[in-house]
Structure 1
Amino acid sequence: MSLINTEIKPFKATAFKNGKFVEVSDADLKGKWSVVFFYPADFTFVCPTELEDLADNYAAFQKLGVEIYSVSTDTHFCHKAWHDTSAAIGKIEYTMVGDPTGTISRNFEVLIEDVGLADRGTFVVDPEGKIQIVEITAGGIGRDATELLRKVKAAQYVAAHPGEVCPAKWQEGEKTLAPSLDLVGKI
């Protein structure tokens, strides 16, 4: 079953953010746009490149009112140690959520049960707590924060403009479509 348009399930976790341990729950994701960004593990190879890319683009997400939550099955202590020892991860200002029980990873259906790690899963959650974008990639395939930013802008546009949709490669400010009988067979 698809998670699109489903409400996020309840969770509570401890996270590392800006040098502190903080509590995070599903309630924190409601009332604003959020990106929940699952990755397999701290101290690995593709993961730091993705998280650094998000860190480099974090200000752009913030300008859109979007909060980022990176999640792995590591603990918040592990996130702190990685943040303190890696130049790439040291750039991160967004919330790094620990999910050692796998609860959040299971809730979003990305937990690889036999190894206890999360798949590379990206979820965009709207202010009502409903999932609007789902992307799952294989472990060796890194994601691109600028493409995610484009998708978030499209999701926000569609939410703010009922009756309009964003075509492929849509960029902010470009023409959208208004699905109707008149468009059938003309695109």
Structure 2
Amino acid sequence: MALINTAIKPFKATAFKQGEFIEVSDQDLKGKWSIFFFYPADFTFVCPTELGDLADHYEEFQKRGVEIYSVSTDTHFTHKAWHDSSETIGKIQYTMIGDPTGEITRNFDVMREGQGLADRGTFIVDPDGVIQAMEITAEGIGRDAEDLLRKLKAAQYVAAHPGEVCPAAWKEGESTLAPSLDLVGKI
């Protein structure tokens, strides 16, 4: 899983977004920050809590110039049916990509082979299409949109401030570090 600092692979898929089916490709990501949020399946248990949490924070991500792409191996039709039948999923405004062939899921190395389901994988992709952060959790461990937002802010800060790094638990506006010989052994 050596995906950090690698470019995402080309893809094309059909997605559901705000009442419409749309085509999405790697070309749509160029020039902006993106989050790929893989989850096992529609109409399940932990997944709607995670996707609803992302929906509740979507405006904050948008203010930072970030597009969210949730991805499962379900079809775009299933995404629409789930969106239409669940109050939690119905509030989603971001793009829900259908990946029934598993191509995108395999590209990000989160396919559960033999099951046809994605692991819970989150990827922060920079405007050049390069993966800057990733998180993989086990089936029963839900993710937190606020922590993802914190990690995104750190990735954006580091990209905008070469030579600086964000320490553990860094929050926007807090001090960063400038690695140098003077810091060795002093932290």
Alignment partners' CA distance in 2, 1:8 and 1:30 = 11
Aligned partners of 2:24, 2:145: CA distance in 1, in Å?
Answer: 23
Aligned length: 187
Amino acid at match of 1:33: W
Structural mapping, 1:139-178, within 5 Å: 139-178=139-178
Give me the whole-angstrom Cα distance separating, in 2, the residues matched to 1:140 and 1:167.
28
SS of 1:79's equivalent in the other structure is: helix
1:29 positional shift: 1.5
Who is 1:16 aligned against?
A: 16
1:45-124 equivalence runs, <5 A: 45-124=45-124
Q: 2:44 maps to what in 1?
A: 44
What is the CA–CA distance in structure 1 between the aligned matches of 2:28 and 2:42, rounded to whole Å?
A: 23
Distance 1:37 1:30 in 2: 18
TM-score if structure 1 supplies the norm length?
0.99
Q: Which AA in structure 1 matches 2:185?
A: G
In structure 1, list runs of 5 or more residues that go unmatched. none
Q: Deviations over 1:83-102 (max 9, x none)?
A: 00000000000000000000
Aligned residues with identical type, % of pairs:
80
> Hey, what's the Cα distance between the residues in 2 that align with 1:21 and 1:146?
28
Distance in 1 of aligned mates of 2:171 and 2:6: 26
Over residues 98-137 of structure 1, what are the superposed CA-to-partner deviations in whole Å (9 max), with x where a residue is unaligned? 0000000000000011100000000000000000001000
Q: Distance in 2 between matches of 1:167 and 1:117?
A: 34
1:183 aligns with 2:178: no
Deviation of 1:177 (Å):
0.1
* Structure 2 unpaired stretches of 5+: none
RMSD over aligned CA atoms reads 0.5
- TM superposition score normalised by structure 2: 0.99
Residues of 2 paired with 1:24 and 1:177: CA distance?
38
